Structure 1
Amino acid sequence: MVALFYYVFKIEIHFGLNVRDILLLYFFAGIGLNADFKSLLSGGKPLVILTLLAIIYIFMQNILGVSVATAFGLDPLLGLMSGSISLIGGVGTTMAWAPLYQEWGVQGAAEMGIASNTIGLILACVMGGPIANYLINRHKLTASNDQVLDIGVTHKDIHVKLDHYSVLHAWLLLNICLILGYLLDMLISETDLKLPMFVSCMISGIVIGNFRTLILKRKTKEGMRQSLGLISDICLGMFLTMALMGLQLWQLQNAIVYLSSVMFLQALLSIVFTIFIVYRFMGKDYESAVISSGFGGITLGSTATAIVNMTAVTQQYGAAHRAFIVVPLVCGFFIDLMNAFIINWFVTLHG
């Protein structure tokens, strides 16, 4: 409808999205609070494997982007804007690199990156569920019997009774996580290491979640776990809705043929790599299928879209606790770090 108003009435609608990123912080703090050290330790090997697979994929994604840009007679560096800069790196990485492209005399880099990221977000949202559904049915996987989800509730259990003390207790813990997350982020920034804020909040949540009986002398009740799931589900849903409402689709029209071609191939590469590589190397079980549903979010969208995809799958089939630890850590920490080095290598090669 925003695009319709632009094309029909020449009216650009902009939304105030200042609260959007704060919602994401609450969501990942909730992920951390629901994590336990036992799950983290059991996720060690899958974490390493998924990180290595993601690094391999960054190279493949950039090679594809540069190749398609060259085939269309464009500057090869623009191919990186339809590669890991915008797709794995996101809008923040795109805008960080855009001034350098202007210095190099490459025009339209920021618009190309934002357009690629826009299409990638949409593709990532619609790919994850069908991929997991295909893997579960194709390999006759046994779904989890654990109905205690990391985010939200199952489709069979939508009427959950909550008491207001549990909700308030959940909000208290989330606010403590955000306070400590901000402080931790300040400490990390002093080391010149750039990480998304949600990583610090998730780490704070993990620490508080495992030691909250020492911080607050109160045992965890099921009602508080349900309250955390409710709050996290609402925050994630609002974040994604606001992100999609803020998209300006008319920015895609100037390079529609190139973008259609390169993003079709990027989506195809993501699907093939996920089904035949990620699923197999992650263990060929139900957890692997859930992680595969989130891989499109890692490679084409964002951490939020990865979690949305996995949430939809687990609400249908059952919990996958390890997936909700492994995927955010790979998205928010390891892959961003390695992506920066790989992008610099490609820029040096084609600059």
Structure 2
Amino acid sequence: MDIQLDLVQSSALAMLLLAGGEFARRRIGFLHRFCIPAPVVGGFMFAVLVLLLRQTDVAQIQLDTTLQTPAMVAFFTTIGLAGSLATIKKGGKLLLMYLIACWSLAIMQNVIGMTMAKVVGVEPMLGIMAGAVALEGGHGNAAAFGPTAEAMGFEGATTVAIAAATFGLVAGSMLGGMTANYLVARHNIEIPEKAGVLGKLATAGAVIKEMAVGDGNKGSVATVTRTEDESSSDRGANYGSLLTVVVLLATLMVLGTVLGDWLSALTGLTLPAYVGAMIVAVIFRNVNDKFAWFKINDDAVELISKFALGFFLTLAMMSLKMWELASLAGPLVIILVVQLAFILIFAVVVVFRMLGKNYDAATMVAGFIGHGLGAAPNALANMDAFNAKFGVRSERAFLIVPLAGAVLVDLVALPWIVWCMNLVS
């Protein structure tokens, strides 16, 4: 039986699966503990159902995912709007050091992926999908770059990227806090005084709740500073603020598409659809910060960002062709094990020392492993669990890690990924 769902039916199903994934994530301990995004839960379960129906010759389901690309571009445009230079300056030298570590990791993940792909006998492009695309990039980049790789002729790229991102999500959540605890014990790190900071620990839970609602890659930097005791009356989104942000995002998306086409023609590179929009959004955000042309409601941006991410990622997960992973399972596991070993050694031997070999550094290592293998919510969950053990919150870590892992890593990671993909195509 051949079941074909049209645009409206496919979109409605995606929304139902997104809501179902959120319901499951809030009530199943494992999913909540490891910050598994709701789109991954709902979309993956549907992909497994499609696989079972196909393999048993019961039915084949065809989806119309036309809206996936516009939703993806909208999400990454909201991420560009979070790239405020004023916020970046607050991190100082430590932010720069952490960024260098993040950029180095993204570079090495692709080098390792391409090298190991040749060793195990698969296409180097699939090594890139199991490199910075899926690990440093998370499910968002996996769903964005996978179709681009498939359009370049590499079958199964999206499935490999999503599978690698899921592996990284779980591994990053399990190993981040453990590694930070090891560093404290190994180096006999002095724990800062608890006085004056115990009350601040409660804010970490609010931060995680804000950022973990389905963010498979990034989270709005604006959420990093939000706490539950803020008044919603002066922050809440209404029709007027939503309309302003929607018009702004639509305009930036159009301008970004024009810029992306121009950059593609100028450089000869194949660029994902959202690159131009994100560049335009970053430029607009910082010019607007200086001249104050528009008052941008952060709550409205955040709501649109969360929905756009959840919707496009659910569509991407729903349309996974799981059967394409069978012949790649063995080589993919080998590549991911090597990637995992590298990030642990790099974090313990290099990153921890770069950041000062202290309590802040150990906390940031927990976050580094979280988003270096998974996503920004995993980084925050790792740091929160580690800090809660000692009763002291690392303010520097909670400022720097989300800022770097949510936006700034892409300044190097995205061009590097695009260059590598064009190199091996």
The verdict on a shared fold, with TM-score over 0.5 as the criterion, is: yes
RMSD of the TM alignment (CA)?
Answer: 3.6
Residue in structure 2 matched with residue 91 of structure 1 by the alignment: 146
Which residue of the other structure, out of 181, 187, 204, is the alignment partner of 2:256? 181
Which residue of the other structure, out of 386, 407, 410, is the alignment partner of 1:325? 407
Give the deviation of 1:114 after TM superposition.
Answer: 5.3
Residue in structure 2 matched with residue 251 of structure 1 by the alignment: 324
1:40-69 CA distance string (max 9 Å, x none): 565555445433443333332233222223
2:281 is the counterpart of 1:205:
yes
2:205 is the counterpart of 1:128:
no
Relative contact order, higher structure (CA 8 A, sep 6+): 1
Residue in structure 2 matched with residue 230 of structure 1 by the alignment: 303
2:237 is the counterpart of 1:163:
yes
AA partner of residue 269 (structure 1): V
- Report the TM-score, using the length of structure 1 for normalisation: 0.72
Q: Which residues in structure 2 correspond to 1:1-351 (within 5 Å)?
A: 1-40=49-88, 46-69=98-121, 78-84=122-128, 88=132, 90-92=145-147, 94-95=149-150, 98=153, 110-111=155-156, 113=157, 116-139=160-183, 147=207, 150-151=219-220, 157=228, 162-164=236-238, 165-194=240-269, 195-212=271-288, 217-220=293-296, 224-253=297-326, 255=327, 259-278=328-347, 280-281=350-351, 283=355, 284=361, 286-296=363-373, 309-314=375-380, 317=384, 320-341=402-423, 343=424
**Separation in structure 1 between the aligned mates of residue 243 and residue 362 of structure 2, nearest angstrom:** 37
**Separation in structure 1 between the aligned mates of residue 365 and residue 381 of structure 2, nearest angstrom:** 16
**Separation in structure 2 between the aligned mates of residue 61 and residue 213 of structure 1, nearest angstrom:** 39
Task: Give the 3-state SS of the residue equivalent to 2:61 in structure 1.
Answer: coil
Count of equivalent residues? 306
- Report the TM-score, using the length of structure 2 for normalisation: 0.60
Give the deviation of 1:285 after TM superposition.
Answer: 5.0
Instruction: Give the 3 Å change call, closer, same or farther, for CA 252–177 of structure 1 in structure 2.
Output: same
CA contact (8 A) 1:25 1:201 kept: yes
**Separation in structure 2 between the aligned mates of residue 264 and residue 132 of structure 1, nearest angstrom:** 20
CA contact (8 A) 1:290 1:314 kept: yes
Structure 1 gap ranges (5+)? 70-77, 99-108, 297-305, 345-351
**Separation in structure 2 between the aligned mates of residue 56 and residue 3 of structure 1, nearest angstrom:** 34
Instruction: Give the 3 Å change call, closer, same or farther, for CA 62–34 of structure 1 in structure 2.
Output: closer
The percentage of counterpart residues that share the same residue type is 18
Give the deviation of 1:92 after TM superposition.
Answer: 4.2
Task: Give the 3-state SS of the residue equivalent to 2:59 in structure 1.
Answer: coil
Q: Structure 1 residues 317-326 or 88-97, which shifts more?
A: 88-97
**Separation in structure 1 between the aligned mates of residue 414 and residue 70 of structure 2, nearest angstrom:** 16
Structure 2 gap ranges (5+)? 1-48, 134-144, 185-190, 193-199, 212-218, 356-360, 385-397
